[in-house]
Structure 1
Amino acid sequence: ELFLYNKYKDLIKNVKETKNLLLKHLFNIIKNLNAEIKSRSKREAINEIQITTKIIEKCISRGSVIEEILEEIQYDEHGKENKNNERLKSERDFLNQKINILVHI
């Protein structure tokens, strides 16, 4: 036993230091993982913002086209209402609501 003790006593002294090093290493790994998760979340948020911006641009474009069509129809027909006019107006209202919702998210 004395022989084994003398052989491994140096290793026994370093047990606490080894535990501390392992804890520090684990802490660094967790810290790096946390940073990677945050960067992924930021990338996902940026992608969502870009997609939302494109949707808003399409809605605004489509809304302006509908406005132009409605102006032409009103100019030609002097305000006569038909199903196409009602459909265009309801689509315009829907696009305006969609834009308002996306802008305020």
Structure 2
Amino acid sequence: MAHTIKEKQQLLARLRRIRGQIEAIEHALEEERGCEVIMQQIASVRGAIAGFMAEVVEDHVRTHLVDTTSFPKALNQEATEQLIAVIRTYLK
């Protein structure tokens, strides 16, 4: 996946932030924080993972599926944006 190599530093930085969020959940459990705090942190991690997945999928679509230079019969720009919007909505 060439696009993941090109965006490697951004993707790694995002994963490191997610790792920090997961570590915060671990600390909250160790400190016996309330369920509501832990559930909020879990929801934040879930959203961060979904956003990460959406970014990788969007880059994949743009790079491998709809690049009209490489694939002359690829989806047009409007169809591409519609597909990406559906993917982002699904991953929320």
TM-score (norm 1): 0.42
Instruction: Determine which structure has the larger helix proportion and give its number.
Output: 1
TM-score (norm 2): 0.47
